[in-house]
Structure 1
Amino acid sequence: MKKYILSFLLVGSFAVAQNFTIDETVFGPRKYAPTSLNAQQWRKDSQSITYLSTDYSTLSEKSAGNNWEATTLATKSDFESALKSKITSDEFALRMFPYAIEWKSNNTFETEVAGKKNNYKVIYDVVSKQITSAVSYSNEGSEAKFASNNNIAWLEGNNIRITSAEGKIIEVTSDENKGIINGSSNTHRQEFGIDRGMWWNEAGTQLAYYRKDESMVGNYPLTNWNEREAVNKDIKYPMAGMTSENVTLVVYDVASGNKLTIKTGEPVEQFLTMVSWDPTGNHIYIGILNREQNHLKFNKYDAKTGAFVKTLFEEKATTWVEPQHALTFVPNNPKQFIYQTDFNGYNQMYLYSTDGKLLKNLGFKDVIVSNMLGFDAKNTKINYIGTSNNGLDRQLFQVDLKSGKTIQLTTVAGMHNASVSSDGTMILDQFSNLTTPNEIAIVNIKNKKLNKSLVKSENPFTEKIDLPKIEFVTLTSPDGTTPLNGRIIYPTNFDATKKYPVMVYVYGGSHAQLVSNRWLGGAGYFDLYMAQQGYVVFTLDNRGSDARGKKFCEVTHRNLGVNEMEDQMKGIEFLKSKSFVDADKIGVFGWSYGGFMTTSLMTKHNETFKVGVAGGPVMDWKYYEIMYGERYMDMPQENPEGYEKSSLLNKANDLKGRLLIIHGAQDPVVVQQHSMNFVEACIKAGKQVDYFLYPNHEHNVGGKDRIHMYAKIADYFDIHLKK
């Protein structure tokens, strides 16, 4: 007899409460948000926190010296007046106080604002109420990167411009060929942790940037239906097994205007990742990942000549190597850096010398580093957020660089978003869990005791919404050894003597986790809405999903969908063991990878799943892009059996239930070709399938149109499953 572990019960039954409206499936998260603080953070070199008022008009402070009583530091009016006084050549009309601020000193913070003509990076003094520094670039520019000396690099189309600290605009590149893209973060499809395409050296005198040549990649058409005559927009979409983009790294010297290309060598179809300047500006470090994505060389290059210096270390795997993080140099020590990798099973930190010598393994048990927060004031310790409780929780940890000893700074079960004060004595800790909507507190770092409770939110649904019962479950994967996290939401006014239809909500792919020990258990408002309509709503994070380590994920290699479906069927086995589940009325809904999983389950397990809704679904991995697709499946010519097995185009004949496919007509991620070809396969197989396009949307459906989408999905389940 298998044991199913049930925990963390949450019951909501209120006499005067109501169900969500369909509109609230989209706007409910804002309407029923737990009480909180906005943009809370430590003020530099102080025992004070700052945050924005609920109407975002005021920057406020709470400090230990004032018994954590609230005081006003600055208002939107103060800030806007300072802007207009400092910058008379532009116009400003701020809707709120700047949300994203970074404290540079005890009294000054840095932020970005937009004027009518230009965008600005400014430094504001909360004591003098003055803008002490302002640099700008054209508001037609994008992806601005600011240097320490106030030079600004930004993009104009596919070319790079620099606005110098003196206000001079420098044309760094002038490629007329639109197939040459300079400095863009949209390089290698933003895989491998890439979030930028330009990097300043520490002095701000040299700019490294990606030069992407995608002219050899075929044009892929996306149609804009809003014009009087529909207009075709071509994008570059390198499909698995086909020609990929060629990327190099160029260094531009601002003073001389000279450029040099780093000699990263052949083959040209490789991936350049983890680009990092050393603090001296003498060297650039680049991760060179082969197209097969199973061999990483971490190389050191001379920034003055572009010459290869040495390979510091290599990583090889029979599955894949997936670099995700640039280097973090130890402050005041340009010869040591932190490298993050999951090569040994879990993404953890390692201390290296710039000669490539491993100095210290900073990993702790099976904790995955999910967010490196930075160093303490003495630069001897690193604070970070890491996973615990089989990936359900996030906790604050601190590791000592010299000893490698790690301590856990937060202890309450749940998802913590925490940071340490500059003096290292206190923690600003925000957390929630299944039974806790939101709590924010100051905690003493030495004894872990509460110093001051700042926010303790009540249940925002009390006497307003009849919140269904949410429960975590732990199942075991078919290999008999791997725990799987699941979540079940019971119908409103649940009666164990009745039988209820089921909606399984699924994603199942890498870099995503649906079940977590946060408020509502990670459930979306549509999940709750469907439970209120009388459905059991179930979700399982199968092997292949996030926050459980490399071994948990790589079982999908070359056979996407196979082990994921086996795990999902363990969830179905669990559901069928419950007397209140109507085993003849089980449906499934998912988007993107979840759309792939939905269609896979509808065809592979067609006796179990009677209804499915597949949004933006991958139907055949040979139509997906190289960087993601080949990591998990290799090339089609290298793995024809895997591609054949995972393809849904040859399984249309196995469809028995009712399937609704939804796609954004301008989807540049999972192109519409996937769903169109599956519909065509269904026609040839004599199978009925329902299809709906959202003409003005890309990979997902947003805004008010999302209400329409959720209404359509709910209706589909009601018509074909519930009745």
Structure 2
Amino acid sequence: MKKSNILLILLVGFISTAIAQKKQITIEEIYGGAFRTEGLDALRSMNNGTQYTILDFDRSNRTSSIDVYDYGTQEKVKTIVSSADLDGVQYFTSYEFNGDESKILLATEVESIFRRSTLGIYYVYDVASKQTIKISDTKIQEPTLSPSGKQVAYVADNNLFIFDLTSKTTKKMTDDGVKNKIINGVTDWVYEEEFAFVKAFDWNANGTKIAFLRFDETNVPEFSMDVYGEELYQTQHVFKYPKAGEENAKVSLHMLDVKTGTISKVDLGNPYYIPRIKWMNNPDFLSVQTINRHQDNLKLHAVNAKNNSVSLLLEEKDDAYIDITDNLTFLADDSFIWTSEKDGWNHIYLYNEDGKLMNQITRGDWEVTQYYGYDQKQDRVYYQSTENGSINRGIYSINSNGKNKKALTVAEGTNSADFSADFTYFINTYSSATVPPKYSLYKALTGKKVKDIKDNASLLDKLRAYEVSPKEFSTININGNELNMYMIKPLDFDESKQYPLFMYQYSGPGSQNVSNRWMGANDYWHQKLVSEGYIVACVDGRGTGFKGRDFKKVTQKELGKYEVQDQIAAAEKLSELPYIDEKRTGIWGWSYGGFMSTNCILKGNDVFEAAIAVAPVTSWRFYDTIYTERYMQTPQENASGYDENSPLNYPERLKGDYLLVHGSGDDNVHNQNSMRMAEALIQANKQFEWAIYPDKNHGIYGGNTRVHLYNKMTNFIHENLRDREIGEESEKPMIDSKKVKG
């Protein structure tokens, strides 16, 4: 025998022994928090720019505190307030300073309403006197301190209130709020979910005015969900939910004069949506964004609060749609910074106070993915982008004239930044597929590292005892496009054997699953599967983000067409690899990903042998107006786009094994989607497996729920992929599943 062959056998034996000594990740560990990373909780820069605050928790004693740290030394300077020192105040879970940091808003007993909205008991803490004042005995929404710190505006029972801290009196500023009819000062369900904000009011710079939105939901259809609970009879949760093509709430802008209490309506010319309001630095001027129902025509208005007159600052149009962001920033003279995809890539623009374009600040075939702010003293714009590759993120700065760009932190992987108030420092968070989050302090102007703060090294040490396989990043040419992909192979991968292929994706517009960042919960589950004999792959197809406007918006009016074609074609191409068993291919996804996996096993019924769909959309006719119509227009305008890509319309194509999962309390993607899918499959006489999780929302979590769900999914794919009996139709030798652990 050749010496090289002997060495190879010895090496294989050594690797096998080393792997055998490692532990497999378990689902119980994943959802028990065994691999949780450490972070910096609720960090906020202080006005002085040299210090920041962190919300620290002592979970054993059920106390919390706001602690001050020095940027330069990273040493704790002092504790501003601890719940242990406050009589009658429970453990607080969030905090907010007023403008001059003399007062702090403390949140306790917080409970969720929907994805972003909450109710809670709130207190105002006076930093100088160390006194605490309770705002309301009942739970309220979105309390916000006035610039002076003397008043708090908030919403309760769909009405706007102002609490005076000196007199400790409360004034009800609106009185027409009614559940499921009229809302003042906070958003309705669909705005909260799709425009990503809840607080729909804002103080001006001197606290004399509050601008707020009013929602008239009277004609919006109601959706109801049974809540099974633990009592003898279930209850019903009824709320307004406008499905695609149905009527939305009528939204209007109003101006409250705080001193007199008078409210006036601002005439914006009957806008369809008002997705953002924001005061300028000049207390007399409010900026308002409006957009039409198709969301392809956005207008930025200036409202003069003295007389409610309105002027147009900026208008954008797009053949597909325009994204709403929080990047609008007013400079000292109320010139402003804006981001746009109008040149084909998302970039930063500078306009003067009258809305005239002064300069395109960034440009190139890459995307600005985060705008951090502008240091007017140094004339530096700070941002995150994909300049170092679409799966990576780097931090950069540039002058407002588009010159003197500087790379600050651009190591391959994902860099994000949290800047001090005066842009002297930033804390960089870095991670990659192989490095858990590391926190480091940098000088913003030079990009020079000052010191490391935290690195999660203990997690890496812990993971050395487990079977963890690397993500192999690459691209794959599918339907004329180079698509980003990763693949994970077993540590003892043997190219002469064949492995089942399990694909994961989300695929929604502008999304990204293939990214060079640290693992999330699904990644750990995938690692478990890989250690049990699978190859896991993920491909970001057409319609996903960060590769330019045209790549992202090609799916317009056809959600589920090109994305499904790409996943099917990718599975076919990967199956050509000698170590992939083409007769054991599965796919899974959650939400949009569940819509995709369902379509894939139907339209790709000769490619996929198994699919899991968790909380899937099965017809876009069932989903909300703002999200769906942004990409599909209305069903009345685009019936074919809705129906030709709906799995409800071809259940008879099912050949493989299909697992359908939903939470009965999903207020977002309603369980109706899965019920209708189940009925379609039943009437097509197609067998399938399914699971309904009682009263669980779109996240399907709580107690042992995630452990149960992921064990169910694991068992399903073991039975239908890894341990699948193929017969003689497969020409390739299969991996011996009996030799695979698990």
TM-score (norm 1): 0.87
Summarize the Cα distance change of 1:289–1:467 in structure 2 as closer, same or farther, 3 Å threshold: same
Question: Contact (CA 8 Å) 2:103, 2:124: kept in 1 or not?
Answer: no
Letter in 1 for 2:340: T
Ranked by relative contact order (alpha carbons within 8 Å, sequence separation 6 or more), the top structure is: 1
SS of the residue corresponding to residue 643 of structure 1 reads: helix
Would you say 1:718 and 2:715 are equivalent positions? Answer: no
Shift of 1:175: 2.1
Which whole-Å deviations, capped at 9, do the CAs of 1:259-296 have from their partners, x for residues lacking one? 111112236xx111221222223232222211122222
Per the alignment, residue 92 of structure 1 pairs with 89
- State whether structure 2 residue 407 is matched by structure 1 residue 408: yes
Alignment deviations for residues 50-75 of structure 1 (CA, whole Å, 9 cap, x no partner): 6577857677777587xx47455238
Q: Which whole-Å CA distance do the structure 1 matches of 2:200 and 2:572 have between them? A: 47
1:623 is displaced (CA, Å) by 1.4
1:302 to 298, 304, 309: 304
CA distance in 2, matches of 1:677, 1:321: 32
Q: Is residue 137–residue 152 contact of structure 1 (8 Å, CA) maintained in 2?
A: no
Work out which of the residue numbers 263, 271, 274 in structure 2 matches 1:272.
274
Identity in percent: 29
Q: Distance in 2 between matches of 1:297 and 1:692?
A: 45
8 Å contact 1:41–1:51 — kept in the other structure? yes
* Corresponding position of 2:26: 21
TM-aligned CA deviation for residue 478 of structure 1: 1.4
Aligned residue number for residue 529 of structure 2: 530
CA displacement, residues 429-461 of structure 1 (integer Å, 9 cap, x when unaligned) = 221112222333334556544432333443143
Q: How much has 1:101 moved relative to structure 2?
A: 6.5
Instruction: Give SS of 1:594's match.
Output: helix
Report what 1:157 is aligned to. Answer: 157
**3-state SS in 1 of match to 2:135:** strand
**SS of alignment partner, residue 647 of structure 2:** coil
1:528-573: CA deviation from partner (whole Å, max 9, x where unpaired): 2222222111112222223333222111101111111222234314
**TM-score between the two structures when normalised by the length of structure 2:** 0.85
Query: Which residue is 1:174 aligned to?
Result: 175
Contact 1:33 1:460 in 2 (8 A): no
Task: Specify the alignment match of 1:453 in structure 2.
Answer: 452
- The corresponding residue for 1:513 is 512
Cα deviations across residues 345-381 of structure 1 (Å, max 9, x unaligned)?
Answer: 2333222223221112122424433333223372632
Structure 2 spans left out of the alignment, 5+ residues: 1-14, 111-119, 724-742
- Are the structure 2 counterparts of residues 415 and 231 from structure 1 closer, same or farther at C-alpha, using a change threshold of 3 Å? same
Aligned residue runs from structure 1 range 619-698, under 5 A: 619-698=618-697
**2:222 counterpart of 1:223:** no
Figure out how many residues of one structure are paired with residues of the other and give that number: 687
**2:144 match: secondary structure:** strand
3-state SS, counterpart of residue 350 of structure 2: strand
Q: Counterpart amino acid of 2:154?
A: W
The amino acid of 1:474's aligned partner reads T
SS at match of 1:31: coil
For residues 530 and 70 of structure 1, the distance between their equivalents in structure 2, rounded to whole angstroms, comes to 43
Find the aligned partners of 2:300 and 2:170 in 1 and give their Cα distance: 35
Of stretches 179-188 and 593-602 in structure 1, the one that deviates more from structure 2 is 179-188
Structure 2 vs 1, CA of residues 123 and 495 (structure 1 numbering), >3 Å: closer, same or farther?
A: farther
Partners of 1:115 and 1:633 in 2: CA distance: 40
The reply to whether residue 293 of structure 1 matches residue 295 of structure 2 is yes
The farther-off stretch of 579-588 and 370-379 is 370-379
- 1:103-142 to 2 correspondences below 5 Å: 110=104, 112-114=106-108, 118-122=121-125, 124=127, 131=130, 136-142=135-141
Q: Aligned to 1:646, what secondary structure does the other structure show?
A: coil
Q: In the alignment, is the contact (CA less than 8 A) between 1:14 and 1:463 conserved in 2?
A: no
In 2, the alpha carbon distance for the partners of 1:403 and 1:463 equals 45
Pair 1:43–1:262, CA change in 2 (3 A): closer
- Larger mean Cα displacement after TM superposition, 395-404 or 707-716: 395-404
Q: 1:722 offset after TM fit, Å?
A: 1.7
Aligned residue in 2 for 1:356: 355
Aligned to 2:83: 80
* Aligned amino acid, residue 19 of structure 1: Q
Contact 2:228 2:235 in 1 (8 A): yes
Letter in 2 for 1:476: N
Aligned partner letter, 1:721 = L
Letter in 2 for 1:209: F
Shift of 1:133: 7.8
Counterpart residue number, 2:550: 551
Change in 2 beyond 3 A, CA 1:340/1:158 = same
> Which is worse superposed, 314-323 or 185-194?
185-194
- Long gaps (5+) in structure 1: 1-10, 85-90
Q: CA RMSD in A?
A: 3.0
DSSP 3-state at the match of 2:721: helix
AA at the equivalent of 1:281: P
Q: Write the deviation string for residues 191-238 of structure 1: whole angstroms up to 9, x where unpaired.
A: 245443111111122211111111101222211112422222222121
Deviations 1:675-715 (A, max 9, x none): 11121111221211222111111212112211111111111
Shift of 1:462: 3.8
Q: Distance in 2 between matches of 1:223 and 1:521?
A: 32
- Structure 1 stretch 465-474 or stretch 381-390: which is displaced more? 381-390
Change over 3 Å in CA distance of 1:235–1:64 after alignment to 2 = closer
Query: What letter matches 1:302 in structure 2?
Result: N
Q: Which residue pairs with 2:4 in the alignment?
A: none
Deviation at 1:629, TM superposition (A): 0.6
Number of the residue aligned with 1:3: none
Structure 1 residue matching 2:416: 3-state secondary structure: strand
- The answer for the alignment partner of 1:87 in structure 2 is none
Amino acid at match of 1:74: T
Q: What is the CA–CA distance in structure 2 between the aligned matches of 1:689 and 1:596, rounded to whole Å?
A: 16
Deviation sequence 1:370-400 (CA, Å, 0-9, x none): 3332233726323222333333122222232
Change (3 A) 1:306 1:71: closer
2: CA distance between counterparts of 1:523 and 1:693? 20
In structure 2, the CA distance between the partners of 1:54 and 1:325, relative to structure 1 (3 Å rule), is closer
Q: Say whether 1:199 aligns with 2:202.
A: yes
Question: How many angstroms apart in 2 are the aligned matches of 1:104 and 1:266?
Answer: 34
